[in-house]
Chains A and B, each alone.
Chain A
Amino acid sequence: MQSSELRAIANKIRRRDLQAVYEAGAGHIGGEMSVTDLLTALYFKIMSVDPDAPRDPQRDRLVLSKGHTALALYIVLAEKGFIAKEEIATFLKPHSRLNGHPTRTKVPGVETNTGPLGHGLPIAVGMAVAAKLSREKWRTFVITGDGEMQEGSNWEAIMAASQFKLDNLTLVIDHNRLQQGARVADTNDVAPLRPKLEAFGWAVEEIDGHDMDQICNALAADKVVPGKPRCIVARTNKGQGISFMSDNVAWHHKVPSAEQYKQAMAELEEAGR
């Protein structure tokens, strides 16, 4: 799939996400806007997954460790055919399987339940070890937030992945520089991420996380360095695509007013043309 097509899909996902947050009256719109291009590239270009066989043992795995951006994943899964598109309208409704964080046992395509931060990378390490033990070629991807990298469990997993030489594992850090209540730099600044990961023995590449060509290039199988786990530090914007949300810490999980919704949708529609 061409980058222009991927950009169109990402734009569609952003618009559906905005609408769902507005209608549900909740969601994590800032982080959803920052992670959408990464999810789009993974599901529509990079990963081998089959909505008709969501548990195929040979499938590539994605762990969305920043589970609060579940809505973006649900919409990607719906666009890919894992769940019905109409089901997005049930997001956060009573007894909906689309709750605020992804659930493996209920939503096909979700690999593990996430929500509490710092869980995804250890699980992804286990997946990558399993593939190595079975001499299988499938790849494991995990997306964390940058604020999430403050969780110590990630660094336990970073050490293990390097020790186990997991070149079938790719960590994508959605580096939007904002966490729930403040800028990461003002909280417990984990940046710069690249030298830290490199010091732990990882092959690291920094990219513009909204440039589809750069994303696809960085995630391609031929970029894998034998014997080294791979980390993509994706520089992104929280609230990407919506002017008043972009890089604004207030929009971690704020819900737009009717007027803001109209403006945001108009901006996304304009960008999608």
Chain B
Amino acid sequence: MNAPFENASLYDCRDAFVATLESLGAADDSIVAVCNDSVGSSKLAGFREKFPERLINVGIAEQNMVGVGAGLANGGKIPFVCAASPFLTGRALEQIKADVAYSETNVKLVGISAGMAYGELGATHHSIEDFAWIRALPNVPVIAPADRIETAAAVRWAASHQGGCFLRLSRVGVPDLLPADHAFTLGKANMLRDGADLTIIANGTLTCRAMVAAAILDGQGIAARVLNMASVRPIDADAIVAAAEDTGAILTCEEHTTFGGLGSAVAEVVVDVIPVPMKRLGVPGIFAPTGSANFLLDEFGMSPEGIASSAAALIKRKS
């Protein structure tokens, strides 16, 4: 359990991703990176320098990129297929379905600059459908790490996991939240803070905002539990049921549309097992306007103050 941070240093999770990939690549020459002209945005220049043969840049061709990843896996390689998340997931969705998920190939999909990271570039570049798209597919775990520690742990897990997965990374700086020795366990949430009045469930860039919101609520006499739910599929049903039993209300926050993402996944468990008042924060099914990721998250009620205010309203619905 971590204390709320103040003026914490912010880190770009891509740096943790590439540092881990380079270190794994040095130990195992079956690790390869595949990208779509995204050496810069995927921060793969260092990997290319260390392992020039093992950086496979297919150019601006995402469908081919995912197929090439599946073929590399067939040939015994462990491909990390990296691209801006909206194009990796949306452009190549059928390849992800047929060549990765259905074929059960050992392809690691890495969606870079996910969520609102490209906020200013407009709705074509917002990746706020990727949880829903990939979560609908069998065999592909969906993982959104909350900080550089969890990112590194998830990349190590992905390399050792036999099968495909989707790692969703932002480029927006986040503080350290998890302990330095954190080991990623698929399908397990981390309780970052305990409380009896409600549970806030978040992942990715929203986890740190949830922690600040919990501190605000604490000042109002409301004790919030905060669960970091990096694993969207499989989801930690036990932690959700325990949260419903112990706190009686659940608020979810995600850098995603409210259709089919983390909030939906949590709601599915709540509805099936233990109905309690719930509220899902996210982008409410519209194309978002232009603005930085942080501006847009604030705009959609996910500033720390916004989250705290939704939480305070939610607990009034408890019976």
Contacts and interface: CB of A to CB of B under 8 A. Distances in A.
Interface in B48-84: 53-54, 56, 58-59, 61, 63-77, 79
A61 B74 contact: yes
Given A105-B104, A160-B68, A152 B63 contact: yes
Nearest to A125: B68
Given A61-B74, A115-B98, A122-B63, A133 B68 contact: no
Nearest to A101: B98
Contact of B71 (A57, A103, A127): A127
Interface residues of B, number: 31
B174 to A, nearest CB: 33
Given A105-B103, A156-B58, A126 B76 contact: no
Given A119-B98, A123-B99, A156 B105 contact: no
A113 B102 contact: yes
6 contacts: A118-B63, A126-B69, A126-B71, A126-B75, A163-B59, A164-B56
Given A126-B72, A126-B75, A127-B72, A121 B99 contact: no
Contacts of B104: 104-105
B103 to A, nearest CB: 4
A91 B250 CA distance: 49
- With a 10 A CB-CB cut-off, give which of A121, A122, A152, A160 has the most chain B CB atoms: A122
Overall SS of chain A's interface? helix
B229 interface: no
B99 A131 contact: no
A170 to B, nearest CB: 14
A111 interface: yes
A134 B75 contact: yes
Contacts of B72: 126-127, 129-130
Q: What 8 A-B pairs have minimum CB-CB distances, sorted nearest first? A: A126-B71, A130-B75, A122-B67, A156-B64, A156-B61, A126-B68, A127-B71, A153-B63
Contact of B76 (A57, A111, A160): A57
A111 B61 contact: no
A126 B75 CA distance: 8
Interface of A: 57, 61, 103-105, 111-116, 118-119, 121-131, 133-134, 140, 152-153, 156-157, 159-160, 163-164
B94 interface: yes
A166 to B, nearest CB: 11
A124 B74 CA distance: 9
A112 B77 contact: no
Given A115-B98, A124-B71, A125-B71, 20 more contacts: A57-B76, A61-B74, A103-B102, A105-B103, A114-B98, A122-B65, A125-B67, A126-B68, A126-B72, A127-B72, A129-B75, A130-B71, A133-B54, A133-B77, A156-B59, A156-B61, A159-B59, A159-B61, A160-B59, A160-B68
B32 interface: yes
Nearest to B97: A116
B95 interface: yes
Contacts of A125: 64, 67-68, 71
Most buried by B among A61, A115, A126, A133: A126
Contacts of B77: 130, 133
Interface string B254-265: 000000000000
A129 B71 contact: yes
Contacts of B74: 61, 111-112, 123, 126-127, 130
Contacts of A163: 59
A113 B63 contact: no
Contact of B70 (A115, A123, A164): A123
Contacts of B98: 113-116, 119
Contacts of B32: 133
Interface string B103-131: 11100000000000000000000000000
B64 A157 contact: yes
A119 B58 CA distance: 15
A160 B60 CA distance: 10
A129 B103 contact: no
A125 B64 CA distance: 9
A134 B76 contact: yes
B70 A112 contact: yes
Given A122-B64, A134-B76, A157-B64, A113 B71 contact: no
A111 B53 CA distance: 24
A163 B56 CA distance: 11
A225 B231 CA distance: 48
A50 B58 CA distance: 32
A124 B69 CA distance: 10
B103 A112 contact: yes
Contacts of A111: 74
A234 B79 CA distance: 33
A21 to B, nearest CB: 24
